[in-house]
Every structure is written in C-alpha cells, then in structure tokens.
A and B are shown apart, each in its own frame.
Chain A
Amino acid sequence: MNDLMSRALNLAGLRGAQYADIRVVENHTESVVIKDGGVNNLSNEETAGFGVRLLVDGYWGFASSRELAAGEVERVTALAVEIARASAVAGGERVELGLPVSSQGVYQTPFQVDPFSVSLEDKIALLLSADAEMGRVAGIRTRIGNLCSIREHRWFANSEGALTEQTIIESGGGIQATAVAGGEVQVRSYPNAFVRQQVTGGWEAVLSWNIPRNAYRIASEAVALLTADPCPSDTITDLILGGAQLGLQVHESCGHPIELDRVFGSEAAYAGTSFLTPEKLNSFQYGSPQVNLTADSIRPLGLGTFGWDDEGVPAQSTPIVRQGLFVGYLMSRESAARLGMQSNGCMRASGWNRIPLVRMTNVSLEPGEWDLDDLISDTERGIYMETNRSWSIDDKRYNFQFGTEIGYEIKNGRLGRMLRNPTYTGITPEFWNSCDAVCSEKSWNMWGTPNCGKGQPSQIAHTGHGAAPARFRNVRVGVLK
C-alpha cells in the first residue's frame, strides 16, 4: 500500500505538482432490513479505490479509480495533473494551504463488540422481535426495521510527510411504524427519524437503544396520531424540542452555515451560501446566552469522530458559539488560510472517488442545567415536539420549517393532548436568540445524521449532533397549508 501511495506522490511531484495527497479507502457496509414480518433486504456491499488530489501552480486537480495497481496509479496521477492544469484556464486566485501537515499514526474507533462479529441470525432476530411488537398494535399498515454496520479502512499520505491509517466502525439501526386511515398517514420512528440512529461504535450501542422494548409504544403512538387533534394552526407559542429533533435543528441552522467553504461561495450553485459571513466572527449574537455550540471530532459515539480528517489534520474540538456569540467555523486548510487561521480538521470525503469538502464533524449543543420535567413544569403554554418528519431551509440558512412526527400540548406546566402533524418555522438567529433553557447532561445524547448531502458530484456525509431538549419562546407553529 505504502509503495503505491509513494508512487503517486513521487509522480505528482515529477509532473509539476507543488502539493499532492492520496487516499485509499475500503468500505464494507452490511444492511439488514425487515419489513412486515419478513426479511426485506440482506446485503453486503464492498467498494474500494483511491483518489489523488494535487495542486499545480495553485490550481486543484483530482482523479480516482477503483483499481489499486501501479499502472493505474500512474494513469490516475497523470490525469489529475492534466485536470489541474485545465483548472487554470478560468484563472482566479491560486490556492494557499497554510502550514504543512505531516501527521502520522494509526486510529481505530473504540468499540466493545465488533458489529460484524454479530451473527446475521441475531440481527434478524432482534428486528423480528421488534416487528412482532409493532404487529401487536391494530391499525398499523407498514412495519419496518433496519440495522446497518459499516467498517471503513482509510489510508492517507501527502507530499508533506503525512501518513495515517484509520479504521472507522459505525453501527446503526431503528424501527418505524406507519398507520393509515382516511386521508391521514402517521409515522413513528425509534430511536431516531427515518428508521435510523447511527453512531461510531460497536454492537453494544445498538443493544443500548432497547429497540424491541420501544416497538409497541411507537406503534401505538402512530395509531393514536390518526385521531389526535391537529397542531394549532399558525399560532405563536413556546416550543420545547426533543433531543433528536434539536440535533437536526443544529445540523441545518448551525452546522451548515458555519462551513467556511460555503461562506466563501464554493457551494453557491448547489447547497448555497451562508449568512454567517466573516465580519460576524466574534461579533454576532447568534443565540441567547444559554446557547453554547461546539464542533468536535473527538466525542465518543459521534459520526464525526475520527483520528485525522481527509487532509491529515488531527481530530480536535472548536468552540462555535459561546453564550450566544458566534466564535468559530468548520474549516479546511485552504479556507482557514484565507482567514489567516489554521484548519480545525473538518475536511471529509464520502469515499475514495470524491474530494474532501468542509463537512460537519460533531456539531453539538452543549447541555444546560434544566431537568426536562422541570422545564415542562416551568412552561405555562406551549408545544413539545419530537422526531423529525420533514426539514427545509433556505440557501443562506435563515428561513427554516420543520415538521415532527409527534407533538404534545403543554398547558399549565403539564404535557397534555397529543397533536398530529406538528410544524414550526423561524429565522435562524431569531430562533436561537429565543432559546431560554437547555436541558442537562442527563438528557443529552449524541444523535447521528447519516444522510447529509453536499457537493457536486453529490456526497453523503455522516455527522454527529449532541443535544438535549431545549425551550424556545414565541415560535410560529402549525404551518401546514
């Protein structure tokens, strides 16, 4: 492996590259899907290959191939040089990468039980057990469950002396029950929306979620939602968001706008730009004093936890918002250099055939001091919403609208009637400035978002978001039609 990587880096230098790196990636993904009492999908996918990224005269080129052989490494490296030379045709500023990166070492995700060591029979049995529990509830139309295990082996070397090797293990899974009657379709999921919570870690994480034990409850809730009262229409009220929904709120309204490549316009044509422009750094009141957000790649279980990013920059933690003040970005070497800063290790590629982009690692809302029961007791009138059902936000990350699977009215400090089709909408800084309480470590959890899209060609990243329930004052809810 090292010989092939050295071959690429040497050839890149000989052909005029001032900087080069090569990543070799082997990904192994195992999926178990159960639907309505039967095995719907049992699959085992492997993909491997390498990508060479280099700078010639300050312009990028990248080429990749599945075939890890000396001749192909040479062809791909030469093609990357040709592409970089073509990049110069349109002109523009030459890329500066800042200080060199020469990390070396080996990293492996910590885990207790390798998810690939667990038999398929045991995995199927776990999901069938949950399926049977959901099946006990009359009125459920569709039951689905899935488990996902990922092992990704990554090697990285660059022309500045970096050489790292990492093995990342992910475990994920969940269940979903759908009830249909009349014109209503109601869905409940566990532990997270869209049938999947996911973490870096082993099988022990999946067992800790007690999926079968929650199956009957969520199926019952799906059926109950069919006849629940609708969320009040177009009303301003206080809102308490459950941790999983808040994790996605952080992802969309904080995680994306702090990507420094977006800020500089790299994603303008596709994912969009950001309202968090550089002059706001250290001066913009993003949220209330209760809001503290951190980006890190070191917290246990986070889908953004690793040893080094895909530029070889070590894992680290960065304050993003402190007592409401915006203080940090997610950065690459190139984007950080434009601000006279150093990368905080947020360059991640979705596979061997993609370049790294500035991506979220684990962007988390730090816990506050409230107990959830106390927070509800302290709320005279409002709505509690949990588990995402739909999410939408504008291309600068200001205006958002989210829907959740379930809501509960809060009246005189108590949870009351169940509400169907809850939605809420707002403008990002107004929303976060309306946050007046965040729950404590006791209800803080690391949530996984394994479906974050960005880039052309499309890349799907896996990101982590720690969050506990929090309260927001005077939010517009009930925007359905």
Chain B
Amino acid sequence: MENREDAQKLIEQVLRRCAPQHAEAMLVAADSSLTRFANNAIHQNVHERDTTLYLRLLDGKRLGRSSSNRLDSTGLDELVARARLFAKASREDADFPGFVSDAKYQSVASFDPAAAACSPQQRATRVSVVCRLAAEKALNASGAYSTGWEVTALGNTNGVFAYHAASRVDYQAVVMSDDSSGHVESSGWRLDDIPVEALGGEAIRKAELGRKPRKIEPGEYPVLLDPYATSDMLENLDFHGMGAMTVQEGRSWMNGRLGERAMDSRVSIWDDGYNLEGNPLPFDYEGTPKQKVDIVRQGVVVGPVYDRRTAQKDGVESSGHTLPSKHRQFSPAATHMFMQPGDSSLEDMLHSLMHGLYITRFWYTRLVHPRDCVVTGMTRDGVFMVEDGELAYAVKNLRFTQSYVQALAEIDAIGRETRLLVESYYNIASRVPALQLKRFNFTGSTV
C-alpha cells in the first residue's frame, strides 16, 4: 500500500515537473478483490491493483487536465507534458477559483488491516455459507463480497498535502426461488462490520416468505420501506438536487423550497465525511477539507453542498464535495449521507400498518421530472401486502412514479436501526433507516 511518505514523494515529483506553473496532483491507489457467486457457487472471483495520478495544471487562467497510471519517470514527464499542452490549448477561465491553500486536515482512522488483507480463501469460505444454506432450502443464492483498501492523496503548488487510507467491505446477496426473491446488502470499513454468514439468512427468509406472489392493482398505497429503498430515495435526491450546481442551474428539487419545510419534521439529512459509522473521507477531490453539512433539518430544506467553483459563485466557502475526476460533470454532490433514525423497530412499524405494502428495495430508478424529484422505478426482491399489521401475502413487482420530496413529506414512522449502504458506481454512501410513508404512487405492474 502507498504510505503517506510514498504518496507525498510521488506527488512532489509531479508538481516539481509542473514548475513554473501552478498545479494540483491527486493520487488514487486501490487494491480490491471481489468474490461473486450465483446458482449457489462462486462464478467470478477477481482482484485488481492500480494507482492513478490525476493532474490539473494552470497556465495563467487556462486549465489542462491529464491522468495516467504509468508512474515511472517517463510516465510522469508525459503526464505533465499532456496537461501543459492541454492548458495551452484551452481558453482563459475567468471563474476558476484557484487551488486550495492553507487547508487544515483532520485525520480519520478508517483503516482495518483485516479488511485490507482479507484473503480469497476467507471470502470464499464466508460466501459459501449462504450458498449452502440456500441450497439446503432448494433456493438459489447470488451476490458479491468485496474487500480491499484505497489510498487518496492530494498535493498542490500552494503547499497543501492531504492523505487518507481506508479499508472497505461490501456484501450483497439475492436469494431466489422459482417465484420469489430476497435481498440483503451492507457496507462498512471494518471486516467485522458485516456479518456475512448471518446476513444471508435475511435474504433467505424473504425468499421463503415471498412465494406465490399475487398481482395487485396499481394505485396509491401506504408503504413500509427497508433501508435499501430509503437509500435509493436519498441517492436520487442527492444526484438531482443536493449539489449546488443543480440549484444554480434551476434544475434541483431544492429550487423554490430553500428555507421552507418540504418534508416531515422528523426528516433530517446531513453529510458527514468524518463519521466512522459512514465511509469516511476527510477531504474532497480538490483537497477541500470536508464540512459537516445539514441538507434537510427537521423537514426544512437548509441548502446544497458545494465545491470551489459553485461556492465562489454563491459567495460561500466550499463544503468539500467535489466528485472524482471521472464524475466531475455531476459535481458537487453529497457522498457521505446520514438520515436521522426514529424510534420504531421494523416490527413496530409493520404491526402499525393496517393496509399497505412492505417493500425491500427499489430498482432501476430514473428521474422523470426534476423539480419535484419525480422518479420512476420498480420494486424488487420482496414486496408484501400488509393487512392488520401482519404480512398477508407476497405481491408481484410494481412500477412506481412518485415525487420523492412529496413522499418524505408524509411519514408515519422512522426506523431506529440504520444500515450503511454504498452505491457502487458513484461511491455514494448513505446510512439510513427504514421508513413508513403514508402514500406511494404505483403506476404499473409486471408479469
């Protein structure tokens, strides 16, 4: 693993080559392994190791970017030459806010050696438990268990240097019968954060309960959502409106709602890159130290998260929410979200639901209309009709088309347990509870 000294040395080698121009170099190194299973057997089992340098070089007011994972002397020379060439070809960017200076970084200890060093044999042994348990019940288990570490380091010609090493563990399983399925998912940074063997039982139970699903009429139903569905709501609200750029461009659900009570008073959502119960990273991808940001407080829309460019435009400080280079066009965004838990157990919420649907997770959700965050998507891996506080029968998957803002405005109960879930492509983490909502609009059903 690249330690602090190695990372700093490499970044300094790059920055020295950039002189006399100002520049910022970021190093992302990762060693990750993933054991994937299907049909109660391991069918894909992979490992990767990579270290990439991302360079932004400023020629006057013109910015060029380059990246490379070739780290020898020639590779570094070419990395800098390409950024310089691109800066020269660019146009002056009068709104460029400059690189970070005088930053103070708070270290966060989110590295577990056991997670970083987890062996293929350990992963295989753990996932084989759910495969065996599913097979014993004539069910079919699929999923993935990944472990590894990531180093993120950033330096610039203003003398800033930031470094963070983190471990990472993710587990997900779907257990299926011929006509049902159950799902479980959890993320963390300690190997012991995820009781892989025990979690498999949750998916098996759902698959058993979900047999013989009935088709029901679409329409408006009260719903009880597992944390997996809650996290989808936060991710869509984030992607389509929690970043300052979406607000500045008038396409956020926050537009027209800033300072207003838009959600139930028990809804509080914030971003915290330091919390060890999340997936911590104490600075963003332009080196700004993370601020803890209230996004929705007691139902009132407080405001978006910022990067340096959007902050300059609004005359505020960046909150440290720039995304990685490959996702920069969507930046900024909240990447370490938390939702305030309530005081109800899942059983309490189920028993209090007289007529409604208990939903495991949402699938393939896409924005239909931005200003109310109207989203369409499907239910998946366990939908149940609840009658008089009991699971009455399993239900075939449904399509919904629903404003997530309005859905969070009418809440019956919030779960007291939370789960950390990390979206795999954009790496957006959210620790969220189960939710009981007064109404949710289903617009279709599937075969």
Q: Footprint of B on A, CB under 8 Å?
A: 33, 38-49, 51, 59-66, 79-80, 82-93, 119-121, 124, 141-142, 178, 180, 183-185, 264-270, 272, 275, 353-355, 390-396, 398-399, 401, 403, 421, 423, 425, 427, 453, 456-458, 479-481
In the complex, are the beta carbons of A269 and B34 less than 8 A apart?
no
Which B306-342 residues sit within 8 Å CB-CB of chain A?
A: 325, 328-329
Bound Cα distance from A267 to B66, whole angstroms: 34
Residue of B nearest to A43 (CB): B65
How many whole Å from A45's CB to the nearest CB in chain B? 4
Is residue B275 within 8 Å, beta carbon to beta carbon, of the partner chain? Answer: no
How many whole Å from A311's CB to the nearest CB in chain B? 15
In the complex, are the beta carbons of A60 and B251 less than 8 A apart?
no
Bound Cα distance from A337 to B91, whole angstroms: 55
Which B136-190 residues sit within 8 Å CB-CB of chain A?
A: 140, 142-144, 146, 172-174, 176
In the complex, are the beta carbons of A355 and B44 less than 8 A apart?
yes
In the complex, are the beta carbons of B376 and A401 less than 8 A apart?
yes
In the complex, are the beta carbons of B90 and A39 less than 8 A apart?
yes
In the complex, are the beta carbons of A266 and B38 less than 8 A apart?
yes
Is residue B352 within 8 Å, beta carbon to beta carbon, of the partner chain? Answer: no
CB within 8 A of B142: which of A42, A65, A265, A393?
A265
Bound Cα distance from A59 to B404, whole angstroms: 44
In the complex, are the beta carbons of A92 and B64 less than 8 A apart?
no
Residue interface bits B274-290, CB-to-A below 8 A is 1, else 0 = 00000000000000000
In the complex, are the beta carbons of A398 and B89 less than 8 A apart?
no
In the complex, are the beta carbons of B47 and A86 less than 8 A apart?
no
A394 CB contacts on chain B under 8 angstroms: 363-364, 378, 380, 397, 399, 446
Chain B contact-residue range equals 35 or more
In the complex, are the beta carbons of A392 and B365 less than 8 A apart?
yes
Is residue B237 within 8 Å, beta carbon to beta carbon, of the partner chain? Answer: no
Bound Cα distance from A393 to B366, whole angstroms: 10
Is residue B444 within 8 Å, beta carbon to beta carbon, of the partner chain? Answer: yes
Given A45-B66, A65-B50, A178-B249: A59 in contact with B89 (beta carbons within 8 A): no
Is residue B67 within 8 Å, beta carbon to beta carbon, of the partner chain? Answer: yes
List, sorted by A's number, 11 A–B pairs whose CB atoms are closer than 8 Å: A39-B91, A42-B64, A47-B50, A48-B69, A64-B46, A79-B47, A185-B250, A393-B364, A394-B399, A401-B376, A481-B403
Residue of B nearest to A403 (CB): B368
Is residue B438 within 8 Å, beta carbon to beta carbon, of the partner chain? Answer: no
In the complex, are the beta carbons of B142 and A268 less than 8 A apart?
yes
How many whole Å from A376's CB to the nearest CB in chain B? 26
Bound Cα distance from A89 to B43, whole angstroms: 11
In the complex, are the beta carbons of A42 and B368 less than 8 A apart?
no
Is residue B49 within 8 Å, beta carbon to beta carbon, of the partner chain? Answer: yes
In the complex, are the beta carbons of A43 and B325 less than 8 A apart?
yes
Which of A93, A394, A396 has the most chain B CB atoms closer than 10 A to its own CB? A394
In the complex, are the beta carbons of A49 and B69 less than 8 A apart?
yes
Bound Cα distance from A456 to B143, whole angstroms: 9
How many whole Å from A312's CB to the nearest CB in chain B? 19
B372 CB contacts on chain A under 8 angstroms: 183
Residue of A nearest to B425 (CB): A458
How many whole Å from A241's CB to the nearest CB in chain B? 17
In the complex, are the beta carbons of B173 and A269 less than 8 A apart?
yes
In the complex, are the beta carbons of B89 and A425 less than 8 A apart?
no
Residue of A nearest to B446 (CB): A399
Residue of A nearest to B83 (CB): A44
In the complex, are the beta carbons of B93 and A38 less than 8 A apart?
yes
Residue of A nearest to B397 (CB): A394
Residue interface bits B417-443, CB-to-A below 8 A is 1, else 0 = 000000011000000000000000101
In the complex, are the beta carbons of B249 and A60 less than 8 A apart?
no
How many whole Å from B116's CB to the nearest CB in chain A? 15
CB within 8 A of B68: which of A47, A64, A270?
A47
Bound Cα distance from A408 to B120, whole angstroms: 56
A33 CB contacts on chain B under 8 angstroms: 329
In the complex, are the beta carbons of B444 and A86 less than 8 A apart?
no
How many whole Å from B55's CB to the nearest CB in chain A? 10
In the complex, are the beta carbons of A64 and B48 less than 8 A apart?
yes
Is residue B256 within 8 Å, beta carbon to beta carbon, of the partner chain? Answer: yes
B443 CB contacts on chain A under 8 angstroms: 401, 425, 479
